[in-house]
């Protein structure tokens, strides 16, 4: 098995959906998840991911939780690394953040100029058109509240939600895209075996692009992990491009 390396794989995804209006065709969203900054370890991979996103200049960046392992001690390193991001960024929380100290995590993210959306939304103007971004709090720990998060939000939103399974709860709200993490892509991945075992323990969406309740769901393999070992599940930095087109035609590169 391979130990962690500084760089992550760049994954570029096109998301074609009837819920993306023509005015937002071509909007690019950077996605980071599961940073898992650890005590005593310099966040080199995160620093490299931030540099990658700064070079690519997406319209916005979404962060979908698990900034910690358990300890809040490395939060200053998290803040320093994310403060270098030159693109508007929005974040929600994951299960490790609630286990380790959600309030401290929110303060650390806000200190890095992240907009933290905890069962809340914001409407942006992107390339002159409105775009709603919704942050759904972590469902693994039971902190999610879809009705509160989507209050006043119409169809076509971009949703940040750590737990991929929460996409099944959002059908009535008609989002265009749900961005998630949590699974680490299985972390130790053996073809057929890992997806089978994951489904048995309630993880049906391991990594990549899915269609769920009429929306697209993208599950990142994330940057880090609580245990620094991966096999056939490389860490990733993702850039997704919205396309105004028929559902079911999305593809990942």
Q: Assign residue 126 the CATH number of its domain.
A: 3.60.21.10
Q: How many domains does the chain have?
A: 1
- Contact indicator for 26, 252 with CB cutoff of 8 Å: no
pLDDT of 38 reads 86
pLDDT of 27 reads 97
pLDDT of 245 reads 78
Is position 70 within any domain? Answer: yes
Is position 131 within any domain? Answer: yes
pLDDT of 223 reads 93
CA pair distance 130, 203, nearest whole angstrom: 33
pLDDT of 192 reads 76
pLDDT of 70 reads 83
**Domain limits for position 36:** 2-247
pLDDT of 233 reads 79
pLDDT of 196 reads 66
pLDDT of 4 reads 46
- What are the average pLDDT values for consecutive 10-residue runs of the chain, which has 253 residues? 62 96 96 90 90 98 95 95 97 97 98 98 95 98 98 97 97 97 80 72 85 96 83 90 69 46
Give phi and psi for 251, each to the nearest 5: -150, 155
pLDDT of 65 reads 97
pLDDT of 191 reads 81
Query: Structure pTM?
Result: 0.91
Is position 123 within any domain? Answer: yes
Is position 51 within any domain? Answer: yes
Is position 253 within any domain? Answer: no
pLDDT of 194 reads 72
pLDDT of 2 reads 42
For β-strands 129-136 and 120-126, DSSP reports them as: antiparallel
Is position 105 within any domain? Answer: yes
Alpha helices for the chain (secondary structure H) = 44-56, 75-83, 95-100, 102-111, 146-149, 193-200
pLDDT of 202 reads 75
Is position 252 within any domain? Answer: no
């Amino acid at each position: 098995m391979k130990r962690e390396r500084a760089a992550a794989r760049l994954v570029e995804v096109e998301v074609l959906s009837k819920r993306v209006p023509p005015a937002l065709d071509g909007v690019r969203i950077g996605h980071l998840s599961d940073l898992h900054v650890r005590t005593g370890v310099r966040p080199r991979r995160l620093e490299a991911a931030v540099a990658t996103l700064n070079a690519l200049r997406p319209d916005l960046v979404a962060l979908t939780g698990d900034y910690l392992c358990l300890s809040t001690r490395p939060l200053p390193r998290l803040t320093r690394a994310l403060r270098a991001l030159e693109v508007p960024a929005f974040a929600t929380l994951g299960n490790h953040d609630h286990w380790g100290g959600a309030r401290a995590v929110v303060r650390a993210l806000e200190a890095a100029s992240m907009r933290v959306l905890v069962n809340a939304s914001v409407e942006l103007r992107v390339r002159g058109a409105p775009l709603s971004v919704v942050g759904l709090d972590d469902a693994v720990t039971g902190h999610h509240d879809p009705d509160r998060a989507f209050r006043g939000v119409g169809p076509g939103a971009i949703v940040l939600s750590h737990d991929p399974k929460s996409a099944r709860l959002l059908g009535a709200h008609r989002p265009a895209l749900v961005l998630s993490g949590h699974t680490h892509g299985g972390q130790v991945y053996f073809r057929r075996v890992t997806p089978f075992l994951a489904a048995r323990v309630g993880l049906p969406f391991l990594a990549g692009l899915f269609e769920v309740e009429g929306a697209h769901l993208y599950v990142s393999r994330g940057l880090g992990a609580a245990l620094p070992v991966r096999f056939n599940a490389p860490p990733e930095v993702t850039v997704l491009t919205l396309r105004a087109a028929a559902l079911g035609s999305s593809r990942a590169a």
